[in-house]
Amino acid sequence: MLSIIVAIHNQLGHNRLFLDGITRYTSGPYEVIVIDNHSTDGSAEFFESSGCKVIRNDKNLCYPESMNLGSVAARGKYLCHINNDLYVAPGWDQLLLGAMERERLDAASPLGLEMMPTRALTDWMQGRWAAIGQGRLSTGKSKETLHTMVRAMYGDWEEFCNEVRQSFTGMCFDGIVGSCVVIRRDTYEKIGRLDERIQAADWDLYYTLRKRELTHGDVRRCMVVGGVFVHHFIRATVKSKREPFACAHERWTIDRKWDREEQAKLWCKPDELSGRPSFMRSIGERVAKPVRKLIQELDRMTAARRLWVPASRIVDVYRQKFQTLGRPGRAASPAQ
């Protein structure tokens, strides 16, 4: 069984859309465990009325502490640490778990706006989502409005997800998409759970697994599984007016725990941390950045018209981009 663990602090609209996707598109046995961090908008009651297990806190706990609390209460062989501002694809759970079994993975993430098979495709999709609004415009919105944003971004959601499956099934590459991570329970226990001092829990988990893979050889690093995609509204929690975290433990930056040299050795994209990007890449970034910003601004001004574009035509755009930008070696390297 898959234990889906989600931490919430208000955001009822996101919570409704999140659970709608989970109940509609999760195909295998699962449970939903909600860590309610002092919500005041009826979110805890909503999840309870929907049959989810809700652990109520009278204060706002941080993400890794919430995930550990939910994981202790979980019953599944697999744990899914997931954000509430997220919408899952049809069959997302079985696609991820199937890949984990085939590839003998200890942790896995789906594709998402944070990481697609190539840097070029990731940049293009992030720019497209920036035009729709990202987290700054999704905070406080209703489930229906949020679903409209998904429609504007992807057209027909199920058809888009099917196109992702056809284009990227069988692809698996180094990386982690922190909004959705599935980890085997025994692996989670083996590494001593999440380090609650580190708020960048996804990076810390990736580094921890990667280092243990190198030093002990009894786990494998996290991989991103092609063929399954989840939509993340991105920064919706950060942009919301939330209570300060009330955790009593120390809070460390990722750089305090992992020095930059070690991060560069362990991270799936070493150029980002080595401080020595290639000359051609540096030049390319300087040229491309202002062009991307101009395109994004033009796209932002016309984003609303996508609601009147046939959904299938929007999917056609993705089909073309997946072919031109999504293949490693054609536009970029895996996880770059």
User: CB count, 10 Å around CB of 24?
Assistant: 11
What angle in degrees, to the nearest 10, is found between the helix axes of 12-25 and 143-154? 60
- The strand pair at 223-229 and 172-174 is best described as antiparallel
Could you tell me the pLDDT band of residue 288, with boundaries at 50, 70 and 90?
low
Q: Given this model, what pLDDT does residue 293 score? A: 58
Residue type present at position 116: M
Can you list the domains of the chain with their CATH numbers? 2-325 (3.90.550.10)
* DSSP SS3 for 267: coil
User: CB count, 10 Å around CB of 16?
Assistant: 20
Half-sphere exposure for 233 (CA within 13 Å, toward CB): 33
The runs of H, that is alpha helices, within the chain are 12-25, 43-49, 63-73, 92-103, 119-132, 134-138, 143-154, 157-168, 185-190, 201-215, 236-239, 254-257, 260-266, 271-274, 279-301, 311-325
Torsion angle in degrees (nearest 10) through CA of 121, 280, 287, 304: 10
Q: Given this model, what pLDDT does residue 153 score? A: 93
Residue with tokens 């860590």: 35
Mean pLDDT over 84-103 rounds to 97
With a CB cutoff of 8 Å and minimum separation 6, the contacts of 86 are: 18, 21, 179, 180, 230, 231, 232, 233
Mean pLDDT over 190-198 rounds to 96
b/e map 244-262, b = 16+ CB within 10 Å: ebebeeeebebeebbeeee
For the entire predicted model, the pTM comes to 0.88
Q: Given this model, what pLDDT does residue 292 score? A: 56
| Whole-number CA gyration radius for the chain | 19
Q: Given this model, what pLDDT does residue 77 score? A: 97
* Higher per-residue pLDDT: 62 or 272: 62
Task: Kindly report, residue by residue over 210-267, the tens digit of the pLDDT.
Answer: 999 999 999 999 999 999 999 999 877 655 566 778 788 889 999 999 999 999 999 9
* DSSP SS3 for 278: coil
